Amino acid sequence: MILLLGGNGYIGQAFVAELERRKHPFISLSRRELDYNRFDLLLDYLKSKRLNFVVNAAGYTGKPNVDACEAAKADTLIGNTLLPQTLALACAAAGIPWGHVSSGCIYSGAKIKTENQVITEKDINKPEVRKMISTAPENILGFTETDAPNFSFRDEPCSFYSGTKALGEEAMAGIGQNYIWRLRIPFDEVDNMRNYLSKLQRYAKVCDNVNSISHRGDYAAACLDLWEKRAPFGIYNVTNPDFITAREVIELMQKILKLNRTFEFWANNEEFYNSAAKTPRSNCVLDVTKLLATGVKIRPVREALEHSLRNWKPETI
C-alpha cells in the first residue's frame, strides 16, 4: 500500500492517475483528514497502516505564482522545508521508504561547454548564450544532481519559494531512505492554471526563457518507476530530456492548436521584472543522465509537448 500526501494538488493528481493506471493500491490522505505537519500524529498514522512507500506531493507553491510565497513566508517554510524534515524523520522511524516532489527551480541558468572548460552561466538569456542555443545547442549542458543549487538561500538572489525547496532537500537528505524527485514547470494536455501550456496562452506577454520542463504524467510515472525498479535512493532530476525555449513552445502551439492570435514577448527580463514580477524566477536546464541510467524511460521534451498539444483539452466553461 502506498500513502500519497497532497493528492489533491496539481502534481498529486498525476500520481493518483498513474497509481490508478497501475492498479496499485494507495491511500490519498489530505491535511484536513490528518495534520501531517505534526510528527506524532503522522508517525502514529504511518505505523497504523501497512505501507511500503509514501509519496509526498504536498507543498506550498503560491497561487497564482511564486510571487504569492513572498507574502506567505511561514506557510511556504512549513510546507516546503519543515514538512520534508518531519516526513523524513517519521518515515525513518516507521522504516518506510518515501519519495518527495522537489523542484528544479533551485537552479538558475545552465552549464556552458567552451573549448577548455565548463562554466556555469546563471543568466540563460545573455545574448551570447541565446546565440549558442540556436547555433550549438550541444554545448548547453544541464545541472546534474551533484551540482549545488545556485538559486537558493545559500546562493542568492532566489525567490522565497526556491529557497525553501532547496532547504527542504537539505532537511530530508540522508534521513532514512528517500527519493528527491525534481520537477520543472509541469505541463500536459489538460488546460489548467498550473499547466505551462495554459499559462503561456494566458499571459498578456511572454518571457522567452529557456528551460527543461516536465510532462506531469511522465514525471509521476518516472518517479514511481524509480521506486518500482528499486533504483538507489537519492536525488533525481525528472524532466523530459533536453530543453526548450518559450518561443519554440509557442510556435508549436500556433502550429498544432492553430491559435488565432499572435504573442507578444517581453523585450528582456528586466522589463518583465520591472512590470510583472515581484521575485526572481528560475529558468534552467537540467541534466537527466542519472534518471535515464537507471533504465527509466521518459519521452524527449518535443515529443511530450507535441503529444500534449495534439490531444489538447481546452477548459470549457
* Site residues (vs its own copies, CB under 8 A): 38-40, 71, 73-74, 77-78, 81-82, 85-86, 89, 92-93, 152-154, 156, 163, 166-167, 170-171, 174-175
The residue (of 31 and 307) whose beta carbon lies closer to its own copies is: 31
How many other CB atoms sit within 10 Å of the CB of residue 286? Answer: 26
Q: At what angle do helices 301-310 and 246-257 cross, to 10 degrees?
A: 30
Q: How far is CA 310 from CA 7, 54, 186, 241, 275, in A?
A: 27, 34, 17, 20, 33
Q: How far is CA 264 from CA 112, 201, 247, 256, 268, in A?
A: 28, 11, 10, 19, 12
Q: Given the C-alpha cell 496539481, which residue does it identify?
A: 10
The residue (of 86 and 198) whose beta carbon lies closer to its own copies is: 86
- List the one residue out of 299, 305, 298 whose CA is nearest residue 246: 305
Polymer length in residues for the chain: 317
The residue (of 141 and 175) whose beta carbon lies closer to its own copies is: 175
The residue (of 166 and 285) whose beta carbon lies closer to its own copies is: 166
Output the smallest distance, CB 63 to its own copies, in A. 18
Output the smallest distance, CB 61 to its own copies, in A. 17
The residue (of 77 and 101) whose beta carbon lies closer to its own copies is: 77
The residue (of 201 and 282) whose beta carbon lies closer to its own copies is: 282
The residue (of 71 and 267) whose beta carbon lies closer to its own copies is: 71
The residue (of 166 and 284) whose beta carbon lies closer to its own copies is: 166
Q: Residue 266 CA to chain centroid, in angstroms?
A: 24
Cis peptide before 157 (omega within 30 of 0): yes
Gyration radius of the chain over CA positions: 19
- List the one residue out of 100, 66, 246 whose CA is nearest residue 183: 100
Q: How far is CA 248 from CA 149, 200, 202, 211, 251, in A?
A: 27, 11, 16, 11, 5
Amino acid making up residue 73 = K
Output the smallest distance, CB 236 to its own copies, in A. 22
Dist. CA 76–CA 68, nearest whole Å: 9
Dist. CA 89–CA 175, nearest whole Å: 7
